């Protein structure tokens, strides 16, 4: 399956979620506000104490991370990217009162930021095969890496999840494989965070 087809499936999936649930965690396919915030706190370790750093949110959904970082005192430019024009438009509406935030659904419009982050973009493979999805994930991670000049971070569901609770439409990544790839390919400074109460992990890469 081509990456273009995979992106189209993802676009349709998340547009349906937003239409059903609106600009809420469920509208971005998260279980709760608490779990969404916990993910943001893990990612935040990348730019912690750098209130003026520029951020790029890769797969921004309705702009929840923008609202989160502004609420935490972050002042630097924020750019959100989503595959869907309608979702990017929803993000603009949701963050209309926030300064220095912009959103686009066009990859060619993106410019590198200090830090690039992706939350949840690797999770929902739908009916894509494991091999095709893994190839798509590697290419997406490489793109994310090019967009964070000082570092990048992402999360993924963990292969350490209980086998009887896994869903066939989700992708469960081996955190050690991802750590090793980031360490060998992108930076000597890689942190694997796997000690929070969700069935996932976060990887933070600094340069």
Average pLDDT over residues 80-87: 97
Average pLDDT over residues 100-111: 97
Average pLDDT over residues 198-205: 98
Which residue stretches of 72-174 are H helix? 85-94, 130-147
What is the pLDDT confidence band of residue 23, given thresholds at 50, 70 and 90?
very high
Decide if 35 contacts 198 (C-beta within 8 A): yes
- pLDDT of the residue at 69: 97
What CATH number should be reported for the domain holding residue 45?
Answer: 3.40.50.150
| Short-list 18, 103, 32, CA closest to 63 | 103
What is the pLDDT confidence band of residue 165, given thresholds at 50, 70 and 90?
confident
- The whole-angstrom distance between residue 204's C-alpha and the CA centroid of its chain comes to 12
User: What is d(CA 87, CA 65) in angstroms, rounded to the nearest whole number?
Assistant: 14
Question: Residue 122: pLDDT above 90?
Answer: yes
Count: domains in the chain? 1
Tokens of 2: 């081509």
Domain extent at residue 135? 3-206
Question: Residue 1: pLDDT above 90?
Answer: no
Please provide the DSSP assignment of 1-56 as one string.
--HHHHHHHHHHHHHHHHHHH-SSGGGGT-S-HHHHHHHHHHHHTTTTT-TT--EE
| Short-list 88, 93, 86, CA closest to 103 | 88
Residues 6+ apart with CB under 8 A from 6: 128, 132, 133, 136
Decide if 87 contacts 14 (C-beta within 8 A): yes
CA atoms within 13 A on the CB side of 89: 6
Q: State the chain's mean pLDDT as an integer.
A: 97
- pLDDT of the residue at 117: 98
Question: Residue 74: pLDDT above 90?
Answer: yes
Average pLDDT over residues 42-50: 95
């Amino acid at each position: 399956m081509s990456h273009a087809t995979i992106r189209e499936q993802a676009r349709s999936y998340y547009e349906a979620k937003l239409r059903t649930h609106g600009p809420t965690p469920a509208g971005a396919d998260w279980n709760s506000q608490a779990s969404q915030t916990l993910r943001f706190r893990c990612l935040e370790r990348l730019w912690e104490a750098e209130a003026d750093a520029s951020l790029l949110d890769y797969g921004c959904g309705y702009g929840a991370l923008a609202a989160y970082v502004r609420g935490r005192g972050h002042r630097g430019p924020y750019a959100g990217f989503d595959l869907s024009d309608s979702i990017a438009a929803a993000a603009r509406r949701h963050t209309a009162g926030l300064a220095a935030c912009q959103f686009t659904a066009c990859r060619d419009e993106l410019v590198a930021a200090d830090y690039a982050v992706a939350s949840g973009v690797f999770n929902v493979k739908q009916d894509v095969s494991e091999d095709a999805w893994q190839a798509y994930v590697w290419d997406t991670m490489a793109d994310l890496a090019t967009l964070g000049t000082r570092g990048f971070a992402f999360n993924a569901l963990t292969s350490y999840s209980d086998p009887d609770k896994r869903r066939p439409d989700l992708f469960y990544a081996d955190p050690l494989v991802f750590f090793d790839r980031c360490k060998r390919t992108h930076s000597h400074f890689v942190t694997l965070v796997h000690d929070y109460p969700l069935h996932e992990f976060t990887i933070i890469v600094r340069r």
